[in-house]
Structure 1
C-alpha cells in the first residue's frame, strides 16, 4: 500500500528531537510523504518554519503539538491538530513545562548516579542546549562512556542486547518513565484541560500511541472518550498488530479519526523511519478523514 502520510514526528524543539524543521520537511519530501505534521512536545516553535518549507515542496502541512497530560494518574500524550498555534496559551504551556523540567533534570542526575554511576552536569550539558536532561540523554551519555562499557545495567542496550533496537529511548522507558527508579514527576495539565485547550483553539484532539501509555489497561480508553477525543493514533510504530487492530476498531466504534504517525525523532529512535506507522488501511482513507475534519 502507498505510504504518503506521517502525522507525528519531532524536531529539535523537542528535547529528544534531532533535526531542524526544515531538515524534517526535506526528509519527508525525499521519503515521498505529502501530508505531514511536526508535533513537538508542548511546543509550537517549529510550525511557521516547517509550514513555509512544506509549501515550497508541495507538501500539505498540518499545524500540530503533542501535549503531556494526565488522566487518573496515567501520563498521556495528546496530539492537537489544526490548532491556532499563535495564541499565547501555547507559550504559557511550553514555559510551564520547561521550568519544571529544569528542576527535574537535576533530580534525574541524582537518581541516575544512585544506580551506580558518576555522571556530572557537564556530561549532560554536552547534549542539552537548554539545561533539560531527558532519559534518552542519560542513555546516550552512559553508553558512550568507556568506563561503563561492561556495566551490567547497560548490556541490554548495547549491540545485540534485548533493548538495542532503540537503545536511548528504551533506556528512558526502563528507568525514567512513570513508576521507574529515576522517574521525576512533572505537574501536567489534566486530559480534560488539554482537550479543552485544543478545542478552544480550533484543533482536533487525538490520543497518541495509546498502546504505550495504556499498557495493560486498554479499557480506560472507553472512559476517556467521554471527554471528547476527535481521534486515536491507532497506527503507530509502538503498536503490535493486535494493538493496532484493537484501537482501529475503537476508532470505528466511536466514529472518530484513526490516524497514523511514526513518532520519528532521529538518533533517539534509530529503528524508526519517517512514514513507518504500521498502517493497515489505505492511507487515502486517512486523507479523507483529514479533509472531512477540515485539517487539509
Structure 2
C-alpha cells in the first residue's frame, strides 16, 4: 500500500518521524511519503527508520500557499532541500507562523478562552513548524475542547474571529519552485470545502500549466461527488491521480492507508522528478 501524505512532530503531527514509519509498517504501508508542513527536517530520521522497518520512503514537503486569501496546500515530492529559492520560501513561511500563533492566542485570551502562548509552545516538538494544530492541542490540554477536530470546528477555522493568516506564496509560484528544485508537485485535498474556501478549477489549471504533475483526489475530506469531479479534472488536465491519509497521529480521525495511491501513479511521479533526491528503497 502506498500512502503519500503524512505528518510528524517536525510539523503538526503527534508521531516522531521514526514513530510514523513504524506505525506505517504496522498498518501494512509499503511506500510512505513524509510531507511535513514547510520543512524537510524529518527526512533523515524517517529514512533511517524506513530502512529498519522495510518501508520505501518518498521524501517530500507540504508547502502552505494562499491564493487571494484562500488556503492552498501543495505537496512537493523528491525536491532538492538545498535549492536556495525553495528553502528561502519555506523559511519565510515557518517564521511567519510564530508571530501568527501569538496573535491568535492573544485574540482567544482576550475573549476569555483559557490559553497562553506558553501553553502552545509546550505542545511544540523540537524544531517543529508551528501551526494551528498546536493551538488546538493546547486547548485540549486545558480542557476547552475534546480534540483537534472540535478545536478547528469552533475556534480555529478559516472563518473564525480568531483566525490569523500567515505568509504563504501563491500556489502557481510554489509549483514553479518545486519544479525548479527538481521535485514533483501534487495539489493536496483540492476540494476540501469543509476545511474552508477552496480555489476554482481555473487556479488548478494554472498550477498544471506551471508544471504540476498530480492531484490528490482520494482524501478523507472529499465526498464521492468531489472525488468524481477530481477524476474528471485530472483527466482533462493530464494529471496523475493520488490518494493518501493526510495522517497526523492522535487527535485527528485520519488513519494511515485509509486512502492510497496505485503503483502506476507513483511510478509516474518518480519519473517526473529531476533532482538527486530519490525514493529511499528499503
Give the alignment partner of residue 10 of structure 1, picking from 7, 13, 18.
7
Give the alignment partner of residue 241 of structure 1, picking from 212, 224, 231.
224
TM-fit CA distance, 1:109: 1.0
Residue correspondence of structure 1 range 223-238 to structure 2 within 5 A: 223-228=203-208, 229-238=212-221
Residue correspondence of structure 1 range 272-287 to structure 2 within 5 A: 272-277=254-259, 283-287=262-266
Q: Does 1:254 align with 2:242?
A: no
Q: Does 1:32 align with 2:19?
A: no
**C-alpha RMSD over aligned residues:** 2.7
SS in 2 for 1:63: strand
Does the CA contact (< 8 Å) of 1:136 and 1:169 recur in 2? no
Does the CA contact (< 8 Å) of 2:189 and 2:217 recur in 1? yes
1:161 is matched with none
TM-fit CA distance, 1:187: 2.0
Q: Does 1:69 align with 2:51?
A: no
Does the CA contact (< 8 Å) of 1:262 and 1:275 recur in 2? yes
- Unpaired stretches in structure 1, ≥5 consecutive residues: 149-153, 159-166
Does the CA contact (< 8 Å) of 2:8 and 2:15 recur in 1? yes
TM-score between the two structures when normalised by the length of structure 2: 0.84
2:142 is matched with 145
TM-score between the two structures when normalised by the length of structure 1: 0.81
Q: Distance in 1 between matches of 2:129 and 2:56?
A: 32
Closer, same or farther: CA 70–38 of 1 in aligned 2, 3 Å:
same
SS in 2 for 1:264: coil
Does the CA contact (< 8 Å) of 1:124 and 1:137 recur in 2? yes
Closer, same or farther: CA 183–31 of 1 in aligned 2, 3 Å:
same
TM-fit CA distance, 1:125: 3.0
Does the CA contact (< 8 Å) of 1:176 and 1:184 recur in 2? no
Does the CA contact (< 8 Å) of 1:76 and 1:213 recur in 2? no
SS in 2 for 1:43: coil
Q: From the CA coordinates, give the structure whose radius of gyration is larger.
A: 1
Does the CA contact (< 8 Å) of 1:8 and 1:264 recur in 2? yes
Closer, same or farther: CA 108–56 of 1 in aligned 2, 3 Å:
same
Closer, same or farther: CA 212–115 of 1 in aligned 2, 3 Å:
farther
Closer, same or farther: CA 59–140 of 1 in aligned 2, 3 Å:
closer
2:39 is matched with 43
> Residue deviations 1:211-263, cap 9 Å, x none?
22697976712333123321110011111122122112211222211111101
Does the CA contact (< 8 Å) of 2:64 and 2:73 recur in 1? yes
